[in-house]
Amino acid sequence: MKIAFDAKRAYHNNTGLGNYSRTLIQDLSRFYPDNEYFLFNPKPSKEYSLESNNIHQVLPKGFFSRKLSSLWRSKWMIKDLKDLDIELYHGLSHEIPIGINKTGIKSVVTIHDLIYEHYPEQHNPIDVKVYRKKFRHACQFADRVIAISEQTKRDIVDFYQTDPNKIDVCYQSCDNSFNPSIPDEYKRLVAAKFKLPEKFFLSVGSIIERKNLLNICKAVQILGNDDAVNLIVIGKGSGKYKNEIDSFIGKNKLQNKITFLSDVSSADLPAIYSLSEALIYPSYFEGFGIPVLEALSVGVPVITSSVSCLPEAGGDAVLYVNPDSYAEIADGMLKILKGGEDVQNMIQKGFVHAEKFSNRNCAEQVMKTYQAVMKRA
């Protein structure tokens, strides 16, 4: 089968959507090598290279397609799909080309989340209108829709009235570099490189209100006299919420307890996870919550929210807290620091739970969706 992908984020995005795209493409290539995979990339990438005997990059041809690559990606690429005899197109991040439903080429779209529908005030109003138009179009005209969690499936049905029988829940996996066998010597090098404290908790994610970093900082402030309570933050942010966090840290003299890391490579990230006491991820809303799975996969305890899709990501392997309660977050941190049998049980349950989201299992679920679409051809 000839399968094409919208590979813009696979080649140019170093966060969630990019990681999802790269991991899925590489896993499909590895576990289903008889297919040919065509990656439609609007412009050459200096950061990522996806190479394999059955993976082929497709760039826009001609002056106008190269100069107006967004139009090529949203509509003009249909000609290239036809020229390559593509049988199935997968929009990996919320959209499919306009008119593909009239070509005979089957299509699938992945919807990661509808966070902008839940929190429109946290997005640019123009962006909300654009997202809504693209997402609705994709859900209406794709042959099948992949939701990355049951939460996202419910949202697609509720907001866009999409037939639930048209939606498959296919969980995502994390990169296989997140595993418990990271060499100790490499971890020591990473610890020295970033000047990491001997003991620390970890927060990973964009610094926005929904991710709830301020309440983590308040939990650190409660436990401030404990030398083991340090926080490493990996994520970017700006504006009012980031300023509020900076102000809180300054006012409470937490500069030596809370450290923001920048320019952390994907190669170093698993080691930082594995060096932490626990991941703290008390988000108010997620499409899936991949950092939870990454932490469980390396053998690190997780403190996360009991809301949204996070119980899907964490199962029975994590410590759940009320995201509104920084006191509960602080209590969770103390439980982790005490260690003992309860924490070891969390870690072991984490390995078992993470196996449900293995690269092979997740690729298999997506392939089943492809096969179901093609059977209806």
Judged against a pLDDT cut of 90, whether residue 66 lies above it is answered with: no
| More confident site: 224 or 270 | 270
Q: Look up the CATH number of the domain holding residue 119.
A: 3.40.50.2000
DSSP 172: -
Do residues 234 and 118 both lie within one domain?
no
CA 181 to centroid of chain Cα atoms: 22
Q: In which residue are the tokens 């179009």 written?
A: 137
pLDDT at residue number 32: 97
Do residues 191 and 337 both lie within one domain?
yes
Do residues 245 and 371 both lie within one domain?
no
User: Does 336 reside within a domain?
Assistant: yes
Indicate the number of domains in the chain: 2
Please state, in angstroms and rounded to a whole number, the distance separating the CA atoms of residues 38 and 59.
Answer: 10
Please state, in angstroms and rounded to a whole number, the distance separating the CA atoms of residues 40 and 92.
Answer: 11
Do residues 121 and 264 both lie within one domain?
no
Quick: pLDDT tens for 291-325. 999 999 999 999 999 888 899 999 999 999 999 99
Q: pTM for this one? A: 0.89
Do residues 168 and 254 both lie within one domain?
no
Return the closest-CA partner of residue 259 out of 232, 283, 237, 235: 232
Quick: pLDDT tens for 346-374. 999 999 999 999 999 999 999 999 999 99
Range of the domain at 37: 2-173+359-375
DSSP 210: G
pLDDT at residue number 54: 95
Do residues 241 and 109 both lie within one domain?
no
Assign residue 109 a region (left: φ > 0; alpha: ψ between -120 and 50; beta: otherwise): beta
Whether residue 2 contacts residue 84, with contact meaning beta carbons closer than 8 Å, is answered with yes
Q: Long-range pairs for 73-78 at CB < 8 Å and ≥24 separation? A: 73/6, 73/8, 73/40, 73/42, 73/97, 74/98, 75/99, 77/40, 78/103, 78/105
Do residues 300 and 240 both lie within one domain?
yes
CB atoms within 10 A of CB 44: 9
Do residues 199 and 166 both lie within one domain?
no
Do residues 194 and 88 both lie within one domain?
no
Do residues 164 and 193 both lie within one domain?
no
User: Does 254 reside within a domain?
Assistant: yes
User: Does 196 reside within a domain?
Assistant: yes
User: Does 230 reside within a domain?
Assistant: yes
Do residues 103 and 194 both lie within one domain?
no
Do residues 113 and 235 both lie within one domain?
no
- What's the chain's average pLDDT? 93
Return the closest-CA partner of residue 179 out of 96, 269, 241, 253: 269
Please state, in angstroms and rounded to a whole number, the distance separating the CA atoms of residues 215 and 241.
Answer: 12
Please state, in angstroms and rounded to a whole number, the distance separating the CA atoms of residues 362 and 19.
Answer: 14
Residue partners of 180: CB distance under 8 A and separation at least 6: 274, 297, 298, 299, 351
